[in-house]
Structure 1
Amino acid sequence: MQYLGEHLLPGRLGHFFALLSFAASFVAVIAYFKATQAKLPEEQNSWRRMGRTAFYIDVAAVFAVLFTILYIVSSRLFEYNFAWEHSSKALKFQYLLACVWEAQEGSFLLWNLWVCVLGLILIRKADKWESPVMTVMSFTQFCIATMIMGIYLFGNKIGLNPFILVRQTEFGMRAPIFSQPDYLSIPQMQDGQGLNALLQNYWMVIHPPVLFLGYSSTVVPFAYAIAGLWKRDFGGWTRAALPWTIFSACVLGTGIMMGSAWAYEALSFGGYWGWDPVENASLVPWLVMVAGLHTQVIYNATGHSLRSTYFFLITQFVLVLYSTFLTRSGILGDLSVHAFVDSGMNVQLASFVLVFLLPAYALFIARYKQIPHIVKEEATDSREFWMFIGSLILFLSAAYIIIFTSLPVINLVREKKVNTDDALFTYNRIEIFIAILIGIFTAFAQYLKYKGTGKGVLMKKLWLPTAVALVVSTLVSIFGGIHYDKYGAGFLAAIHLALFAAVYTVVANAEYIRVGLKGNLRAAGGSVAHIGFGLMLVGILISSSRKQVLSYNTAGVTFSNPDPKQDPLENLTLVKGVRTEMNKYWATYLGNDSLDERSQTRYFHIHFQDKQTADQFDLYPNMMKNTKGQEGGSPNPDKFHYWNRDIFTYISALPPDDNQDTAQFLPQALKLKDTAFYSKGYIILDSVVKDPNNDKYHFSPNDTALMASLTVVSRDSMRYKASPVIFIKDNQPHFLTDTVFAQDLALRFNKITTDQRIELGIKESSEMVPFIALKVLEFPQINILWIGTIIMITGFVMSLLWRRRQAKAKMSVR
């Protein structure tokens, strides 16, 4: 059949470039492998040149695929399933990129793109390690390229094709509209389904690229470790790889915290970290990466912990791949708001893990005894000993998290299912003690010297920061209002101990910069990162333990059931215009407005007033209509920042839709001072005002507007004022209805009749009471967390620059 209006050339070009990427990466793997194995320099150079050429072609093809997808999406070519499923005409321009990585194939493309960029840098910088390292990098690209091929091999689908047409999908093959040659003229094909409402946030434009750069960068330390084992140059790679390890830890950590900021601003679980399986899947590789970073520093300084470094740097990349399997296989689809659904690629995803896991660990085990190892154990008063213990604790923490995150996988093969009643406490009860140990080790380890510290030296240097930290943390514990008793006195005691450890980290590392480094900030990257980590712990402990629900519903009155996952007592119903007591505030729901009808986003205006200080502020949480077939809408929170706390709110239930109110406006003509009756009383037309300008309406003499001033008198002699308006705009009449909610009454100024009477529209309906169910939280000292994050990332950057400066200095000496 000849279909009309389809633009087939972009898709054919895009698929060609996807296949070219696959072929070029395969050639690059072979060429670089041959270059690594070659004995003669001429042969090495020949294969290396071929590897570089193939890699360059691969890079060009990957970028061409990306640009083709962007063209399809931006041009709204809805005959393509990618554009139809992930974009729409209403989608704002800044979210065009976000709709690319909403798709599985788009996120794999983003991953591959970053591997391309990192590979280009390594070709220039890796020197003698180029061939073995680029073999691993190219093989990674080869595996990722299979994820966007979308071809069938012996009846099995290999990857997802981002250039498939809607009519070629399983849905399209069943839908009768695609039997018509002009199916693109059908209204259903004139627009796409749009971007998931949860992803229409500015963080989703910048968070995924940073996070995927972090994921992509983890392959570089892994590749160096494999190269060291492969070439039997067991320790020569560690200094060249150290800046890459720091870079990867920095970027992946930044991406994780960006995700926390997105969750805090755009999700409605009320916080920045909920031990969500997808959050855990990104955290676990980072913890193991940081462990490997510290053991790598140990080896470069003392010769200890090389075997541990290999294990950690191999494991962190394997965990990235395993996390990819968890989040993309559909196993976590019901447990996480940002996991992918099952796309039929589970076997391929599992193979992606195994093709790296099995050879990497097999090589590590085969070479294990050949890896240099100092038989003499580290002295217990040495820096390397406690750094290793800290690294081991980080690894054990990661192991615990990934085991419980993997329960859906474990339950697939167990007859007796393993479940947790309280997922948050499952993690918190262990991680609180991890935080205590890491905080204390981070505080004192830098005061120790490599290979041993003299007696009495440590206490002489540590007594002051220890005393200061003890005093500060004690004052915070006593006067900070930390009385978190949900899990008993034992857990509360652990919180206070963790608070001391966090403060100790900050104070001790700041003192180390002053005393140990003599104020040399260039060399203080590690200490600055530790200070940031300590501040993050302080912010987490205080904001989480003192988090308070302000919207606690003491009356138990609700108009609608909130989200069933929410505690109904933590959601307060606000009726429009009625000031309601909310803990230390008065809250008033003033109304709602749609910012953009096409985006189906409703903003709700909530006015807050502090009962003690009379400070006032307004918040505008919104509800975005889902476009992917889900029921209801996606709430997006809003918050007000004080210097010492955030007021955080989101909509947990909405008023009924307009179409649920079936009552009609009944017309009634009145002269001035005439009376119209309704079921609960009567209405008096007091006056008609031209171009009103008051607290409620603002019209100028150049406008054409009339307002009916009405008095509503109920049976119990209560009087209410109402003032509906009619005005002309663009030669069309517009109506501003006024409502007396206490009487279930809506009034509209319909028109002026030919006999100079005012025709009112009168509607009575019990469905008109506008309300929202609102959840409001207070996060004390949340800014400490974000400040700590920025400082920690800054410390990583400082450390990276310092290591590069040292490496250049050594090269110049040679």
Structure 2
Amino acid sequence: MNYIGEHLLPGQLGHFFIVLAFVSSLVATFAFSKAANSVDPADEKRWKRLARISFGIDFLSVFFVFGTLYYIISAHYFEYFYAWNHSNRSLDTSYLLSCIWEGQEGSFLLWTMWHGVIGMLIMARGSKWEAPVMAVISFAQICLATMIIGLYFGDVFIGSNPFLLVREKFADAPVFARPDYLSLAQMQDGQGLNQLLQNYWMVIHPPILFLGFASTIVPFAFAIAGLWKKDFGGWTRQALPWSLFSAGILGLGIMMGAAWAYESLTFGGYWAWDPVENASLVPWLVLVAGIHTQLIFNATGHSLRATYVFFILGFSLVLYSTFLTRSGVLGDSSVHAFTDLGMNTQLLIFMLIFVLPAFALYASRFKFIPHIKKEEETSSREFWMFIGALVLFLSAAVITWQTSFNPIYNKITGQSTAAPEDVEFSFNKIQVFVAIVIALLTAVTQYLKYKKSTKEQWIKKILVPTVITAAITVTFFVVSGLEYDKKGPGFQAAIYLAFFASVYAVVANAAYIWAGLQGKLKAAGASIAHVGFGLSLVGILISASNRKVLSHNTTGINLKFDERSKEKPLENLTLIKGLATDMGAYWATYQNSDSTSKSGTISYYRVDMMKKDSSESFTLYPNLIRNTKGQEGFSNNPDSRHYWNRDIFSYITYADNMDNREDTTQFVNHSLKVNDTVYYSNGFFILNKVVPNPSNDKYQFSPTDTALMADITVFSKEGTQYAARPVFYVKDNEARYMLDTVFAQNIALGFSRVLENQQIELQVKESSRMVPFISLKVYEFPHINILWIGIILMTVGFGMSVVYRSRQGRLKAINKQKQAA
């Protein structure tokens, strides 16, 4: 059948280049492997030339696939399932990229693209390690290409093709029997982007995070190359800048995700030990452990075996996290896991095809890996660096177990074993001690020397930073302190100790830059990263421990939240439109809501905040985004007021317009004279008088008009009085009336007509549905900027270390060439 209006060429070209990427990566893998095993330099050169050309074709093909997919989405070609399922016409242009990585196929494509960039950089630099390292990367490109190739063999399929047409996806649907199906209303727009992804962080966070994931293959590939070529320690110096880059960019990506969670999710913070968060954190912890053992080996010859383990595990855990987040295992336990695409077996093979051979090769070469039998001195820097690396590894192991056990056990057994009631505390009670140990080691270890240190010299160096830290800690607890005491004195004491250790890490590393490095910033990357790490811990401890709920319910209006919700009614303040409401140190007034998107799916709520002493006022605009993906629901996008020393963080927990049910409550008629009383469910009201042709702040009638206003006072059971002024008038020889609503009491009053004997008819309606209101959650996060400053410094420190170690490597290579000449 010839379908009308389809744009088939982009999809055909896109799929062609997927196949080309797959074939070229196959050739590159084979050719790089032959080059790595070649004994004859001329053979090596020929194979390497073919391999480089093949990898270059793979690199260009992947970029063409990415560009084609973006073109299809931006052109709104909804005949393609990917565009129809992940985008719509109302999306801002800035979110069109997010549509690509909302789906699994797009995220695999992003990962593949970064591998291509990394591979091109490795080839551009060139070295004796290029061939074996690139063979590993090219093999990863083969595996990733199979994830999007979309080949079908009967009921078995390999990968999911992003260029699949809607009519191919739903081949049995009767609508596709029509050649003009694209003219139908349901094909004029797509399903839209998940509301959680409609945030600017989701435009920049996934590319950075996937660059971090992709970069972990480089230290892994160097480790495999060392085992492959039996040059067990020769690769570590050249790989060091790459492992530093990987840890720095992956850490940045993780914390960008935390910033997105802080701005877009409603668990009231930046980290909730969500399974997907943990799946990205664990490889980073292991990678950082590997960097420290790598430094130990480069300096002393110790810990090479551990370095192999950590780098092999680092990439293996990236693959494991890929399996967890894409297999559907975490679908019920994480807000941002992918759904099952039916590729679980393929994902499992993808993981095992790297992990099993890597560890098999390591086991077969284990006894040949250089190892110094003499144990490190306990007074040496390398001993305590290794202890720190071991603690990081154990921390990663515990997080992996806690994250994986319930979902995988439930998936295998079909049971529904519940997670701990307080998930966050189940992690915090262990990881707080990890933070203490790592922060203390970060502070004191660099003051030790490699090989051996004298106790007297070490104490002399560390004494001043220790005294300064103690003074800062005591001052802080006298002036402010940490207010977290919900889990008992033991955990509170651990938090206090963690604060001291974190400050110690900051002070000791800053002092080391000044005293130990004599202010040489070029070599201070590690210390700056450690300062950033310590500041991050300080920011976490203060902002989490001293976080305050400002929106304590003072109105007596308690909303009943869904049973699955973690919201506490007494921590959510209900604001009636236009009514200033007591919020501790502030008056909060909900002014209005406004839809700013073309489709009306995003509603912003204006909340004016004014301090009771009138010293400050500001406006918050939290919003709700209606889900357009087929099921009902809303995403709450918070809004924050930023200060140098705190954030006021707010989000909507409920709004009257979230419920689309029709209001079926009826008006009840009452006949009454002046001074008569009518009772309603929460009090009564009195008709004070009837005013002809009123002219006031609400109505402007002239003496020649025909209008009457009922002056009514409403008395609630709580003793509060409200004024109501409904109006009856005649216009164009037609009797009309205007309601007046007392929102705080959920009643509407209408002066509907004049009766005999000086009576009037009032219509009264009680309904919570007609009252414009929102339920607002407001937190204060003190000193949260310390966390973000710490993250920036840590990333800068990693970057400085990459540059410094790269220059060191180049200088050593030049010196070797000179010596050889």
Q: Is TM-score (shorter-chain normalized) higher than 0.5? A: yes
Query: What SS is found at the alignment partner of 1:323?
Result: helix
Partner AA of 1:634 in structure 2: S
Query: What SS is found at the alignment partner of 2:190?
Result: coil
1:599-627 Cα offsets, whole Å, 9 max, x none, are 51111111222235642211111001100
- CA displacement at 1:272 relative to structure 2: 0.1
Deviating more after overlay: 10-19 vs 79-88:
10-19
Distance 1:336 1:390 in 2: 30
Structure 1 residue 582 corresponds to structure 2 residue 590? no
Distance 1:115 1:9 in 2: 27
Structure 1 residue 409 corresponds to structure 2 residue 411? no
- Contact 1:711 1:719 (C-alpha < 8 Å) held by counterparts: no
Partner AA of 2:656 in structure 1: P
Distance 2:708 2:316 in 1: 73
- CA displacement at 1:8 relative to structure 2: 1.1
Aligned to 1:359: 357
1:432-481 Cα offsets, whole Å, 9 max, x none, are 00000000000011111111112300100111110111121122234324
- CA displacement at 1:739 relative to structure 2: 5.1
The match for 2:784 among 766, 782, 785 is 782
Partner AA of 1:466 in structure 2: T
Deviating more after overlay: 579-588 vs 352-361:
579-588
Matches within 5 A, 1:475-624: 475-553=475-553, 556-561=556-561, 564-612=565-613, 614-624=615-625
- CA displacement at 1:743 relative to structure 2: 7.5
Distance 2:514 2:710 in 1: 74
1:477-500 Cα offsets, whole Å, 9 max, x none, are 343241312111000000000000
User: Please, what is the CA RMSD of the aligned residues?
Assistant: 2.9
Partner AA of 1:638 in structure 2: D
- Contact 1:560 1:653 (C-alpha < 8 Å) held by counterparts: no
Aligned length: 769
Partner AA of 1:409 in structure 2: I
Partner AA of 2:183 in structure 1: S
- Contact 2:62 2:109 (C-alpha < 8 Å) held by counterparts: yes
Distance 1:712 1:294 in 2: 80
Partner AA of 1:793 in structure 2: T
Aligned to 1:754: none
Query: What SS is found at the alignment partner of 2:88?
Result: coil
Distance 1:87 1:44 in 2: 48
Report the CA distance shift for 1:741/1:154 in structure 2 as closer, same or farther (over 3 A).
closer
1:648-680 Cα offsets, whole Å, 9 max, x none, are 1111111144662358999xxxxxxxxxx9997
- Contact 1:380 1:386 (C-alpha < 8 Å) held by counterparts: yes
- Contact 1:87 1:192 (C-alpha < 8 Å) held by counterparts: yes
Query: What SS is found at the alignment partner of 2:152?
Result: strand
- Contact 1:91 1:599 (C-alpha < 8 Å) held by counterparts: no
Report the CA distance shift for 1:54/1:641 in structure 2 as closer, same or farther (over 3 A).
same
Report the CA distance shift for 1:659/1:747 in structure 2 as closer, same or farther (over 3 A).
farther
- Contact 1:21 1:145 (C-alpha < 8 Å) held by counterparts: yes
Distance 2:744 2:486 in 1: 41
- CA displacement at 1:275 relative to structure 2: 0.2
Report the CA distance shift for 1:549/1:5 in structure 2 as closer, same or farther (over 3 A).
same
Aligned to 2:236: 238
- Contact 1:443 1:504 (C-alpha < 8 Å) held by counterparts: yes
Matches within 5 A, 1:100-111: 100-111=100-111
Distance 1:461 1:575 in 2: 62
Structure 1 residue 400 corresponds to structure 2 residue 398? yes
- CA displacement at 1:684 relative to structure 2: 5.2
Deviating more after overlay: 66-75 vs 469-478:
469-478
Report the CA distance shift for 1:496/1:678 in structure 2 as closer, same or farther (over 3 A).
closer
Aligned to 1:200: 198
Partner AA of 2:341 in structure 1: S
Aligned to 1:731: none
Query: What SS is found at the alignment partner of 1:355?
Result: helix
Partner AA of 2:258 in structure 1: S
Aligned to 1:54: 54
Query: What SS is found at the alignment partner of 2:656?
Result: coil
Aligned to 1:792: 794
- CA displacement at 1:285 relative to structure 2: 0.2
Aligned to 2:719: none
Query: What SS is found at the alignment partner of 1:127?
Result: coil
- Contact 2:561 2:567 (C-alpha < 8 Å) held by counterparts: no
- CA displacement at 1:810 relative to structure 2: 2.2
Matches within 5 A, 1:43-82: 43-82=43-82
Matches within 5 A, 1:714-753: 714=712, 719-720=723-724, 740-741=742-743
Aligned to 1:329: 327
- Contact 1:235 1:306 (C-alpha < 8 Å) held by counterparts: yes
- Contact 1:29 1:136 (C-alpha < 8 Å) held by counterparts: yes
Deviating more after overlay: 149-158 vs 82-91:
149-158
Partner AA of 1:802 in structure 2: Y
- Contact 2:724 2:741 (C-alpha < 8 Å) held by counterparts: no
Aligned to 1:636: 637
Partner AA of 1:360 in structure 2: A
Matches within 5 A, 1:664-675: none
Unmatched tracts of structure 1, length 5 or more: 667-676, 698-706, 725-735, 749-760
Partner AA of 1:367 in structure 2: R
Report the CA distance shift for 1:723/1:49 in structure 2 as closer, same or farther (over 3 A).
farther
Deviating more after overlay: 656-665 vs 641-650:
656-665
Unmatched tracts of structure 2, length 5 or more: 669-677, 700-704, 716-721, 729-737, 751-761
- Contact 1:709 1:721 (C-alpha < 8 Å) held by counterparts: no
Distance 1:219 1:505 in 2: 30
Distance 2:576 2:661 in 1: 19
Distance 1:716 1:764 in 2: 14
Distance 1:63 1:708 in 2: 74
Report the CA distance shift for 1:402/1:812 in structure 2 as closer, same or farther (over 3 A).
same
Query: What SS is found at the alignment partner of 1:456?
Result: helix
- Contact 1:649 1:774 (C-alpha < 8 Å) held by counterparts: yes
- CA displacement at 1:402 relative to structure 2: 0.6
Partner AA of 1:774 in structure 2: L
Aligned to 1:31: 31
Report the CA distance shift for 1:45/1:557 in structure 2 as closer, same or farther (over 3 A).
same
- Contact 1:560 1:773 (C-alpha < 8 Å) held by counterparts: no
Report the CA distance shift for 1:104/1:658 in structure 2 as closer, same or farther (over 3 A).
closer
Query: What SS is found at the alignment partner of 2:711?
Result: strand
Distance 1:239 1:685 in 2: 92
Aligned to 2:755: none
- CA displacement at 1:173 relative to structure 2: 2.6
Aligned to 1:141: 141
1:748-780 Cα offsets, whole Å, 9 max, x none, are 9xxxxxxxxxxxx99956332111111111111
Distance 1:743 1:663 in 2: 15
Matches within 5 A, 1:94-493: 94-153=94-153, 155-169=155-169, 172-407=170-405, 408-413=407-412, 417=417, 419-493=419-493
- CA displacement at 1:808 relative to structure 2: 2.6
- CA displacement at 1:746 relative to structure 2: 7.0
Report the CA distance shift for 1:740/1:6 in structure 2 as closer, same or farther (over 3 A).
same
Distance 1:104 1:537 in 2: 33
- Contact 1:661 1:765 (C-alpha < 8 Å) held by counterparts: no
Deviating more after overlay: 325-334 vs 623-632:
623-632
Distance 1:191 1:44 in 2: 54
Distance 1:334 1:31 in 2: 44
Distance 1:477 1:372 in 2: 49
- Contact 1:745 1:762 (C-alpha < 8 Å) held by counterparts: no
Report the CA distance shift for 1:443/1:157 in structure 2 as closer, same or farther (over 3 A).
same
Query: What SS is found at the alignment partner of 1:128?
Result: coil
Deviating more after overlay: 567-576 vs 541-550:
567-576
- Contact 1:647 1:778 (C-alpha < 8 Å) held by counterparts: yes
- CA displacement at 1:13 relative to structure 2: 1.0
Distance 2:690 2:635 in 1: 41
- Contact 1:663 1:763 (C-alpha < 8 Å) held by counterparts: no
Query: What SS is found at the alignment partner of 2:653?
Result: strand
TM-score in terms of structure 2 length: 0.89
Distance 2:261 2:690 in 1: 50
Report the CA distance shift for 1:198/1:684 in structure 2 as closer, same or farther (over 3 A).
farther
- CA displacement at 1:812 relative to structure 2: 3.3
TM-score in terms of structure 1 length: 0.90
